[in-house]
Amino acid sequence: MEEEKPSTEPLTESQILDILSDAICDVGYWSWWTTNLPTAIQIEFGGTQLYFPPSDNSQPPNSQIAIQFRNPKSISFLTREELKSDDENWFDDLHNDKMKAPTCSHGEFTFTDQSLMTKIINGAKTIKTIHGYSPADNLFQSEKHKLVFWAGDYGFAVSSDEIKLLTKHGDIELDQIPSVHSQWWTYWRKYWDLRYTKNALPKDYACEVTIPLKNN
């Protein structure tokens, strides 16, 4: 994943969602989900390339972000492979913090790419719809907001009327995402500049797995 280049042109919502997608799925993981149906479903990710300053300088920045889909139309959990019977309700284990958070699959995570959404949905061995209709229904693609992704063998598909972004510091507007993504790259450069010095910053998972190129 290369750093986003600054642009002088205003970004569209679709472009900002693509930046958010890359910031989550490059090295991020799916940490939790919860619902308040029929009003909303919220899914949370860690290890994102989004910079939210730490409240304690002895700790790395908190990179968690939650995406709340309001007035959801379709909510489904996907599996890529046939699962053992005791793994079929993996999504309950994820909700109850009883399984290791699956790492998001880079290149298989999108808010905007309808052909990729179709490919992911068609590639699912099983689709467990917990609200509304199946994402395989043609109606799914016509909804206002959507997210479809794989995290290893586990996946998710949702459509809704509205999305809202939340962090440990409170709500964040979608148009702030390019800025906090750019700030993360600035922080990442500082992290690696100081990595092997006495002034090294607190160890950070997302930085450690986003390794800079070395010139030999």
Comparing C-alpha atoms, which of 23, 209, 25 is closest to residue 106? 25
- How many domains does the chain fold into? 1
Rg (CA), the chain: 18
User: How, if at all, do strands 40-46 and 109-110 pair?
Assistant: unpaired
Q: How confident is the model at residue 198 (pLDDT cuts 50, 70, 90)?
A: very high
Structural domain contains residue 2: no
Residue 21: what pLDDT?
Answer: 98
Beta strands in the chain (DSSP E): 29-36, 40-46, 65-79, 109-110, 126-132, 145-151, 154-167, 170-172
Structural domain contains residue 213: no
Residue 190: what pLDDT?
Answer: 97
Residue 6: what pLDDT?
Answer: 54
Structural domain contains residue 214: no
Structural domain boundaries, residue 99:
13-208
pLDDT 10s digits, 62-72: 999 999 999 99
Residue 143 has pLDDT above 60, yes or no: yes
Comparing C-alpha atoms, which of 121, 100, 109 is closest to residue 49? 109
**208 SS3 class:** helix
Mean pLDDT of 77-103: 87
pLDDT 10s digits, 29-39: 999 999 999 99
Structural domain contains residue 62: yes
pTM for the model: 0.91
- Would you state the structure tokens that stand for residue 94, as one six-digit string? 């994820």
Structural domain contains residue 157: yes
Comparing C-alpha atoms, which of 110, 28, 122 is closest to residue 66? 28
Residue 184 has pLDDT above 90, yes or no: yes
Q: How confident is the model at residue 213 (pLDDT cuts 50, 70, 90)?
A: confident
Residue 7 has pLDDT above 90, yes or no: no
